[in-house]
């Protein structure tokens, strides 16, 4: 099985040697590592060129700057592998992880394989975070996992046939969330390696770390995947799962992060999120995924911003 790894690179010259070095150590021979220079103004392209000169698995692809989605799509369209893995240029593989994921994909006959993530902070602290599922799930048993899985693109090895013509939504933050939710109905069987596979760097100033008005892109990506389920005629079979996912990202992620924004923006985030949920899924508060015995982490909202949400009728 040939594996293609797509590595977008933009202003990551300080991290790219470690990223590509972690790939270089993988014993997979039938592999290609596609470094997509997304018009980076730093030395990222030169670093990738050096790796390509000594290891034929590395390929440097260059394009005008278009953002993370654009770079991933560019690499995906040029990938020759039977399996696809996305690795950001400021992250790195845990040694041997990709090899284990390939073996698991073949052994289990799965459509995709998950791994956990190892969060790594600049002060040296690390923490392993679960993908949301360990084991093997197939058919009806896999369906509820859409409400639990970590939605990142980069902790999954995909069969190329599973992705097909699916691409990342360009021009927005949190494109992983939109991609994951459109991909999931195609999944029949998934498996995991039950250990951390990716070193996920928590950089100061990263998208997930800083308060920024573009956090409102959460509304865009949630609306996009909800529209997709409706337009494809999938919503009758998936409404409980999708309304749960919409609530999960709008309330427990978007509103929580938006609470750090200045002025009236936190209130606007809460109002728009609740208006979307009430308008699109009128019964969402009675969703069994949100009210069941296992519950939903809406129960654990931070006290610093939950009162704001409760105040909006």
Domain-located, residue 218: yes
Mean pLDDT of the chain, nearest integer: 92
Q: Long-range contacts made by residues 44-53, C-beta under 8 angstroms, separation at least 24? A: 44/9, 44/10, 44/11, 44/12, 44/13, 44/16, 44/89, 45/9, 47/13, 47/16, 47/17, 47/20, 48/9, 48/16, 48/20, 51/20, 51/24
Residue 165 belongs to some domain of the structure: yes
- Which of 16-30, 100-114, 192-206, 277-291 is the least confident region? 192-206
70 and 190 fall within a common domain: yes
Reply yes or no on whether the pLDDT at 207 is more than 80. Answer: no
CATH of residue 173's domain is: 3.90.550.10
The strand pairing partners of 3, in sequence order, are 31, 83
pLDDT of residue 208: 55
Residues 180, 74 share a domain: yes
Average pLDDT in the 85-101 region? Answer: 97
Please check whether residues 12 and 87 belong to one and the same domain: yes
Q: Which of 20-29, 62-71, 292-301 has the lowest mean pLDDT?
A: 292-301
Q: Look at residue 252 in the predicted model and tell me its pLDDT.
A: 87
303 has a pLDDT exceeding 70 = no
Distance CA 98, CA 115 (A): 9
- Residue 239 and residue 192 share a domain: no
Q: Is the pLDDT of residue 39 over 70?
A: yes
Mark which of 202, 229, 251 sits at the end of a domain.
202
The structural domain count of the chain equals 2
**pLDDT at residue 136 in the model:** 98
What phi, psi does 102 have (nearest 5°)?
-65, -45
What is the spatial distance between Cα 232 and Cα 106, in angstroms, rounded to a whole number? 30
From 91-95, 221-225, 235-239, 266-270, the region with the lowest mean pLDDT? 266-270
Output 68 or 209, whichever has higher pLDDT.
68
Does residue 143 sit within a domain?
Answer: yes
Query: Do 183 and 249 share a structural domain?
Result: no
In this structure, the answer to whether residues 71 and 167 fall within a common structural domain is yes
Instruction: Tell me the residue range of the domain where 156 lies.
Output: 3-202
- Quick check: is 307 in a domain? no
Residue 200's DSSP bridge partners are: 119
Q: What is the mean pLDDT of residues 44-48?
A: 98
**Model pTM score:** 0.91
Closest CA to 181 of 106, 234, 139: 234
Rounded to whole angstroms, the Cα distance separating 1 from 156 reads 16
Which range (15-29, 133-147, 289-303) has the least confidence? Answer: 289-303
- Highest mean pLDDT: which range of 87-96, 200-209, 282-291, 296-305: 87-96
pLDDT digits (tens, 9 = 90+) for 48-84: 999 999 999 999 999 999 999 999 999 999 999 999 9
168 with 66, same domain?
yes
pLDDT at residue 307 above 60? no
pLDDT of residue 209: 54
Looking at the structure, do residues 76 and 174 belong to the same domain, yes or no?
yes
Distance of CA 268 to the CA centre of its chain: 26
Q: What is the pLDDT of residue 132?
A: 93
Q: Does 208 reside within a domain?
A: no
Query: Would you say 122 and 206 are in contact if contact means Cβ atoms under 8 Å apart?
Result: no
d(CA 226, CA 241): 11
* Per-residue confidence (pLDDT) for residue 205, from 0 to 100: 55
Same domain membership, residue 101 and residue 21:
yes
């Amino acid at each position: 099985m040939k594996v293609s790894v797509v590595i977008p690179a933009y202003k990551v010259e300080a991290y790219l040697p470690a990223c590509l070095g972690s790939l270089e150590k993988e014993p997979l021979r039938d592999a290609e590592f596609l470094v997509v220079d997304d018009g980076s103004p730093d030395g990222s392209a030169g670093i990738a060129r050096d790796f390509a000169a000594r290891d034929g698995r590395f390929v440097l692809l260059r394009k005008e700057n278009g953002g993370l989605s654009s770079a991933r799509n560019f690499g995906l369209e040029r990938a020759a592998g039977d399996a696809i893995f996305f690795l950001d240029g400021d992250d790195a593989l845990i040694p041997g992880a990709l090899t284990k994921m390939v073996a698991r994909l073949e052994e289990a006959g799965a459509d995709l394989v998950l791994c956990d993530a190892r969060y790594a902070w600049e002060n040296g602290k690390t923490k392993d975070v679960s993908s949301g599922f360990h084991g093997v799930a197939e058919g009806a048993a896999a369906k509820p996992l859409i409400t639990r899985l970590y939605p990142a693109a980069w902790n999954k090895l995909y069969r190329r046939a599973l992705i097909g013509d699916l691409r990342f939504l360009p021009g927005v933050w949190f494109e992983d969330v939109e991609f994951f939710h459109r991909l999931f109905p195609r999944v029949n069987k998934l498996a995991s390696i039950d250990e951390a596979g990716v070193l996920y760097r928590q950089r100061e100033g990263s998208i997930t770390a800083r308060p920024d008005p573009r956090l409102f892109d959460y509304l865009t990506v949630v609306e996009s995947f909800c529209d997709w389920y409706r337009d494809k005629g999938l919503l009758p079979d998936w409404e409980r799962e999708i309304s749960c996912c919409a609530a999960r990202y709008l309330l427990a992620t978007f509103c929580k992060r938006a609470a750090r924004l200045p002025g009236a923006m936190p209130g606007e985030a809460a109002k728009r999120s609740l208006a979307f949920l009430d308008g699109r899924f009128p019964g969402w508060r009675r969703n069994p995924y949100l009210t069941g015995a296992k519950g939903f982490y809406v129960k654990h909202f931070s006290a610093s911003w939950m009162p704001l949400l409760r105040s909006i009728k």
